Structure 1
Amino acid sequence: MENYSKGSNEEEPWDLSKVSIPSIPEDITWMKVSPGAKMRNLLEFALKDFKDKDQILWSGSGPAINKTISCAEIMKHKFSSVHQISTVCYRKVIEYWDPLIDALDQLKVTRDIPTIHILLSKQLLDTTVSGYQDPGNKSVFWKTPYGTPGSNQRPRRNQNRDPNNKNRSDLG
């Protein structure tokens, strides 16, 4: 690849019909998160809009997935009785690589970028849909395997081990 420089990118356009969440209204507020977007600006608009509307859809792909999830979680924290449906899919991106040597041809690389869609709703959603979370469903994600939520105490290991390794028979 040292003989090529990165050229332009063509991203598959966002299309509401390709979102695999059932019954999304056409007039929904759709927050398409990009990696360079400021969370403060996104949330300011979304929080204001969600006061008047019943649903909002958050979408992000590639490096914007973490920011998309964070925005949706902050919204859920601000509005306590919010239902959620999340789906993960892929979005196509075509990358063009321009040759640095005249004898070479331009390369065209098609990649599938991971994408997440998170629908938040004040109204009850279809609970049978995969990816549904009800408003009170925090126990599954916040519970640690070691006890109560937030607990970082782990079971002790090797309590009877000699710190000077005198009991190790495998060292001969």
Structure 2
Amino acid sequence: MELQGAAVNLGAPSTSHPQNFSQGDFKRVRRTVDGRPFPIPGLAADVLHMQVKEGSKIRNLLRFVTARMQGEGKGSNGTSLRQVVFTGSGRGVTKTITCVEILKRKMGGLHQVSKLYYMTVNEVWESPQKGAECSKQRTLPAICILLSKDPLDPQEPGYQPPETLSEEEKRHRALLRPAESPSTYTAKRICMT
């Protein structure tokens, strides 16, 4: 089979079809998300909201939440937090679920309510060379998970009670956890002369 070709300049903009832009020609200038409230009814006003994105570091999120829920970061009334809400959308949904599962195992005794929903994202793109503007509306899957130290309504759809562990599982987990130690480590420098 013989290839028939024509001279194509890949670096030059196409003038024969000005309405046919590639995504590389456009740059996103604005992104708005629908301001819908959380799909979980009856949330307290001072609940900690953790928005998990695709690029979020799980270690950083969990360190912050654990410190706040264990009382190191006191709330406005001087008590530790009782509830936290994790939300994520698009490719951040799996990371959101991972954060929640790790925190449940780390803290223990947390009640959970999970809600799935869709959110609408409006994006405005413009081409700096051509002065054209394009608007795009996308619907993304999203998840909202409430974790609470206090009991929640077991009749609420999406409710999960705290995990109950047998005595053997508790001993096994205690062996896996490191002993209480300071959060900072110091290293000694040894000079051999």
Give your verdict on TM over 0.5: yes
Contact 2:90 2:142 (C-alpha < 8 Å) held by counterparts = yes
The answer as to 2:80 corresponding to 1:61 is no
Q: Quote the residue 1:45 is aligned against.
A: 64
| Superposition map of 1:118-137 within 5 A | 118-136=145-163
- Give 1:67 deviation, angstroms: 1.1
Q: Is 1:112 matched with 2:139? A: yes
Which residue identity is paired with 2:60? N
- Match of residue 11 from structure 1: 32
Mapping of residues 1-172 of structure 1, within 5 Å: 1-2=21-22, 4-12=25-33, 18-51=37-70, 52-99=80-127, 102=130, 105-136=132-163
Identity of aligned residues (%): 34
CA distance in 1, matches of 2:39, 2:164: 22
Deviating beyond 3 angstroms after TM superposition, the runs of 4 or more aligned structure 1 residues are 99-102
Q: Which runs of 5+ in 2 are unaligned?
A: 1-20, 71-79, 166-193
Cα deviation for residue 101 of structure 1 reads: 6.7
Query: Residue deviations 1:89-143, cap 9 Å, x none?
Result: 12221122324774x84210111111110000111101111111111389xxxxx
SS in 1 for 2:103: helix
TM-score calculated relative to the size of structure 1: 0.70
Count, aligned residues: 135
CA deviation after TM superposition for structure 1 residue 9, in Å: 3.8
CA offsets, 1:16-70, max 9 Å, x none? x611111100100111112222111111000011122211110111111111111
Q: Which runs of 5+ in 1 are unaligned?
A: 139-172
Q: Give the 3-state SS of the residue equivalent to 2:26 in structure 1.
A: strand
Q: Which amino acid aligns with 1:120?
A: L
- Say which SS state the counterpart of residue 41 (structure 1) adopts: helix
Measure how far apart 1:11 and its partner are. 2.9
CA–CA distance in structure 2, aligned partners of residues 24 and 126 of structure 1: 12
Query: Aligned with 2:140: secondary structure?
Result: strand
Contact 1:9 1:93 in 2 (8 A): no
RMSD: 2.3
Find the residue that maps to 2:60 and give its secondary structure.
Answer: helix
Which SS does the other structure have where 2:66 is aligned? helix
How far apart are 1:83 and its partner, in Å? 0.7
Partners of 2:30 and 2:125 within 8 A in 1: no
Please tell me whether the aligned partners of residues 7 and 97 of structure 1 are also in contact (alpha carbons under 8 angstroms): yes
CA contact 2:33–2:121 (8 Å) conserved in 1: yes
Shift of 1:80: 1.8
What amino acid is the match of 1:2? Answer: S
